[in-house]
Amino acid sequence: MTPTVLEVAREAQGRVRLVVRGAVQGVGFRPFVYRLARRIGLSGWVENSSQGVTIEVEGPKARLADFQWQLRSEAPPRSVILGIEAAAVPPRNEPGFAIHASDVSGAPTAIVLPDVATCEACLREILDPRDRRHGYPFTNCTDCGPRYSIVLALPYDRARTTMAGFTMCRACAGEYADPENRRFHAEPNACPACGPRLTLLDASGSVLAREQDALLGAADRLRRGGIVAVKGLGGFHLMVDARDDEAVRRLRRRKRREAKPLAVMVATLDDARRVALPSETERALLASPQAPIVLVARAGEAVAPSVAPDNPDLGLLLASTPLHHVLLRELGFPVVATSGNLSEEPLCTGETEALERLRGIADLFLVHDREIARPVDDSVVRVVAGRELVLRCARGYAPFPLSLARPLPSLLAVGGHLKNTVAVSVGPRVVVSPHVGDLETEAAEAAFTRTVEMLVRLHGLSPEAIACDAHPDYLSTRFARDDGRPVIAVQHHYAHVLACMADNELAPPVLGFAWDGTGHGLDGTVWGGETLLVSDRGFRRVAWLRPFPLPGGDQAAREPRRSALGALHELDPALAERSPLFGDAERAVLLSMIRRRLRTPLTSSAGRLFDAVAALLGFSGAVRFEGEAAMGLEFALRGLEGGERYDFTIEPAPVPEGDSACVLDWRPMLGQMLADVARGEARGEISLRFHNTLAEMIVATALRRGVEAVALSGGCFQNRVLTERAVRRLREEGFRPHWHRRLPPGDGGLAVGQILAAARSLERS
């Protein structure tokens, strides 16, 4: 019941100043505070600050308490409150409640939010012929739209975004200023009269059409099998009719992307169901505000075979910006939407750059005049063991703040070499950059440097030290060494396990399985099938897969039969000498390399063991992208069940400290597998037994150690079958298995692990 005037007067008055820290900018937090204060009947003000949001409220003390309670309990859904500091201040008796201009003093510790897919309300307007934003490709509100891809500096205000150059028209300014409007302080607010506009360019950069005509022109070209570069939220997509096999092949040729699956964009969930069989969880992910690419079982013949050759899955995503909604609805069919770059290079973000780098790939360029502050790729997720597993952390997910139990020293981590991401610690959290890519080209190197600078500058940091991989030759490692700050080198697989622990909020002791392609080992061999026991102080390598020779080293990643030859040689040199995987001359050269240890490291890599098995089962000669052969193995057993497996042994291994360790010897398995192949056993069955054997190796190792918490990390655990079997079997044996969620199990998660390892080593010294 509303108190009477007299009662209010008798109540004790007060004023508090609240500093709200966390992801509270660009999520409609100030309008929420404004409405809450007015509803409760408090005066004061709210403003964005470098630290987050600062509020002063004044009124009866009981209502101040209500206000603070509801501030937490009713906060906007996309905000993340990490802490609220409250302090009593003297009352001022000002009338009403106001939103102040931003306070830019102080070191920025607020968090930049990821971009958010178009919300229901905005979509309704775009599709409503009577709405003033009907068909407008750049609308948004406080619940949706660009954030990270347009922010130039903090605090998050229009003046510090790439929307600064657009002046709001009367109607837009009215919405922006109206506390009852859902565009109240929506920083990138825009409409056809005042906001960004489309242009259609030909390959030489000449303007063909503008606005609606530009969209129709692009759609027309797509309908006729053309390739159109579309400037989206965080960069260019290359688009082509996904039903048109010939057109898709042309795109592959021009992009020099031979076989790697291409993502397909559809307008709605109903359209998604016409080309794939998304489960309930997968549908929820597709339609989520993050709107990632979701790997879903494909269905029907609607999508051309060349989109994802020999692949039972489809990388599917829904339109997530107004531009994509409008374009996809105009088309009425699914399109391939692959990143606008040559294979493995980072995304193009500017028109000039796109015209230059995509010359010879795209027929037309659909562009607009809202600048992209920095590139953001599409994210990729897959459902594993019933929940989301992020394989590539980018648009919608990154920059991703991971909360920790305690504050860390200020650190920068530069990640690995492939699928690079970088990370910084900001107080009690780690902020992970979006996916940068493989640091193999100049363009990727430049994107890497920009990402590091941006992450450090946006958060106003001066890191005490830089953490990097222990591999001396990684480009990221050299960057760290050249920087001049203290460098902390972190063993690759230790970083993997720590990342998985952070992703699952695990405290030591943890038994971590880090299985991947390759990582720099501490004993001169190439690691990749490691079991690490992580304690409070560090880690010990307690088990690994039996090492085998890898003729040509890194070259083997692209040619699985080299791994096969090495593994055969380890089983029985005579088998390697007879292997039909190579012609006589080539085999002789490789075998002599193996015998003389010439450019032939030993590796305990699980990824290379996968490659070896895939090659022996005839999945691939030369692999066109890393992991292709292993993917073939996983696909081959789809739909098969059963617990049959091969034999393996566990041998004690001497370690320097005199402590116990063991080697998982896969040779019995390989021998039985070869016999199966010789008997003509189906490849799917053999693959199933292989996966089951690996899961049993994990269980057997865990049983020897008896540590309850088990972490599964490294690129091999992108494999759904391996992860699900290992998880199920570990649970059956009484362990608590953990695998990745929001951080990729592959090298995209390394930077987080590096930060944690570096913090541990600083604390010890």
Provide the minimum distance between the beta carbon of 328 and Fe ion in the complex, in angstroms, as a whole number: 36
Q: Which is nearer to Zn ion, 110 or 191 (CB)?
A: 191
Torsion of CA 271, 272, 276, 278, to 10 degrees: -140
Provide the minimum distance between the beta carbon of 290 and Zn ion in the complex, in angstroms, as a whole number: 15
Q: Which does 345 bind (CB under 5 to 8 A by kind): Zn ion, Fe ion, none?
A: none
Q: Which does 747 bind (CB under 5 to 8 A by kind): Zn ion, Fe ion, none?
A: Fe ion
The 3 state secondary structure assigned to 209-270 is EEHHHHHHHHHHHHHCCCCEEEECCCCEEEEEECCCHHHHHHHHHHHCCCCCCCEEEECCHH
Determine contact, residues 395/417, Cβ cutoff 8 Å.
no
Residue 145, C-beta contacts closer than 8 angstroms, at least 6 positions apart: 115, 116, 118, 122, 139, 186, 188
Provide the minimum distance between the beta carbon of 398 and Zn ion in the complex, in angstroms, as a whole number: 21
Q: Which does 291 bind (CB under 5 to 8 A by kind): Fe ion, Zn ion, none?
A: none
Residue 497, C-beta contacts closer than 8 angstroms, at least 6 positions apart: 510, 512, 513, 514, 532, 534, 539, 711, 713, 753
Q: Which does 193 bind (CB under 5 to 8 A by kind): Fe ion, Zn ion, none?
A: Zn ion
Provide the minimum distance between the beta carbon of 455 and Fe ion in the complex, in angstroms, as a whole number: 21
Q: Which is nearer to Fe ion, 378 or 516 (CB)?
A: 516
| CA 420/CA 344 separation, integer angstroms | 12
Q: Which is nearer to Fe ion, 44 or 521 (CB)?
A: 521
Query: Roughly how many angstroms between the first and final C-alpha of the chain, as a whole number?
Result: 61
| CA 725/CA 721 separation, integer angstroms | 6
Q: Which does 141 bind (CB under 5 to 8 A by kind): Zn ion, Fe ion, none?
A: Zn ion
Q: Which does 209 bind (CB under 5 to 8 A by kind): Fe ion, Zn ion, none?
A: none
Q: Which is nearer to Zn ion, 182 or 667 (CB)?
A: 182
Q: Which does 516 bind (CB under 5 to 8 A by kind): Fe ion, Zn ion, none?
A: Fe ion
Using the rule CB under 5 A, give the single segment among 285-293, 381-389, 420-428, 742-750 that binds Fe ion. 742-750
Q: Which is nearer to Fe ion, 474 or 548 (CB)?
A: 474
Provide the 3-class DSSP secondary structure of residue 684.
Answer: helix
Judged by CB under 5 A, how many residues of this single chain contact Fe ion?
Answer: 2
Provide the minimum distance between the beta carbon of 19 and Fe ion in the complex, in angstroms, as a whole number: 40
Q: Which is nearer to Zn ion, 108 or 137 (CB)?
A: 137
Provide the minimum distance between the beta carbon of 164 and Zn ion in the complex, in angstroms, as a whole number: 15
Provide the minimum distance between the beta carbon of 393 and Zn ion in the complex, in angstroms, as a whole number: 23
Determine contact, residues 20/81, Cβ cutoff 8 Å.
yes
Q: Which is nearer to Zn ion, 194 or 653 (CB)?
A: 194
Q: Which is nearer to Fe ion, 34 or 717 (CB)?
A: 717
Provide the minimum distance between the beta carbon of 760 and Fe ion in the complex, in angstroms, as a whole number: 19
C-beta nearest to Fe ion: residue: 516
Using the rule CB under 5 A, give the single segment among 288-296, 299-307, 703-711, 746-754 that binds Fe ion. 746-754
Q: Which is nearer to Fe ion, 21 or 496 (CB)?
A: 496
Beta bridge partners of 23: 80
Q: Which does 122 bind (CB under 5 to 8 A by kind): Fe ion, Zn ion, none?
A: Zn ion
Residue 301, C-beta contacts closer than 8 angstroms, at least 6 positions apart: none
Q: Which is nearer to Fe ion, 231 or 496 (CB)?
A: 496
Residue 31 CB neighbour total at 10 angstroms: 22
| CA 70/CA 32 separation, integer angstroms | 10
Contact flag: residue 626 with Fe ion (CB under 5 A): no
Q: Which residue pairs, CB below 8 angstroms and at least 24 apart, start in 508-511?
A: 508/534, 508/535, 508/536, 509/533, 509/534, 509/535, 509/707, 509/709, 510/534, 510/707, 510/709, 510/710, 510/711, 511/542, 511/701, 511/702, 511/705, 511/707, 511/709, 511/710, 511/711
Q: Which does 107 bind (CB under 5 to 8 A by kind): Zn ion, Fe ion, none?
A: none
Residue 20, C-beta contacts closer than 8 angstroms, at least 6 positions apart: 29, 52, 53, 54, 55, 71, 81, 83, 84
| CA 229/CA 200 separation, integer angstroms | 10
Q: How many residues does the chain have?
A: 765
Using the rule CB under 5 A, give the single segment among 166-174, 325-333, 617-625, 741-749 that binds Fe ion. 741-749
Provide the minimum distance between the beta carbon of 745 and Fe ion in the complex, in angstroms, as a whole number: 9
| The pair of three-digit structure tokens given for residue 561, joined into one six-digit string | 């039969």
Q: Which does 598 bind (CB under 5 to 8 A by kind): Fe ion, Zn ion, none?
A: none
How many Cα atoms are found within 13 Å in the side-chain-facing hemisphere of 138?
A: 29
| CA 394/CA 317 separation, integer angstroms | 14
Provide the minimum distance between the beta carbon of 659 and Fe ion in the complex, in angstroms, as a whole number: 25
| CA 704/CA 20 separation, integer angstroms | 48
| CA 426/CA 752 separation, integer angstroms | 12
Q: Which does 191 bind (CB under 5 to 8 A by kind): Fe ion, Zn ion, none?
A: Zn ion
Provide the minimum distance between the beta carbon of 742 and Fe ion in the complex, in angstroms, as a whole number: 17
Using the rule CB under 5 A, give the single segment among 121-129, 355-363, 465-473, 511-519 that binds Fe ion. 511-519
Instruction: Rule CB under 5 A: choose which of 516, 628, 676, 696 binds Fe ion.
Output: 516
Q: Which is nearer to Fe ion, 518 or 620 (CB)?
A: 518
| The pair of three-digit structure tokens given for residue 698, joined into one six-digit string | 């994990």
Q: Which is nearer to Fe ion, 97 or 527 (CB)?
A: 527
Provide the minimum distance between the beta carbon of 166 and Zn ion in the complex, in angstroms, as a whole number: 9
Instruction: Rule CB under 5 A: choose which of 115, 157, 345, 747 binds Fe ion.
Output: 747
Q: Which does 559 bind (CB under 5 to 8 A by kind): Zn ion, Fe ion, none?
A: none
**Contact footprint for Zn ion (CB under 5 A):** 119, 122, 141, 143-144, 169, 172, 191, 193-194
Q: Which does 470 bind (CB under 5 to 8 A by kind): Zn ion, Fe ion, none?
A: none
Residue 461, C-beta contacts closer than 8 angstroms, at least 6 positions apart: 410, 412, 424, 426, 455
Backbone angles phi, psi at 287, to 5 degrees: -90, 10
Q: Which is nearer to Fe ion, 378 or 747 (CB)?
A: 747
Provide the minimum distance between the beta carbon of 704 and Zn ion in the complex, in angstroms, as a whole number: 54
Q: Which residues bind Fe ion (CB under 5 A)?
A: 516, 747
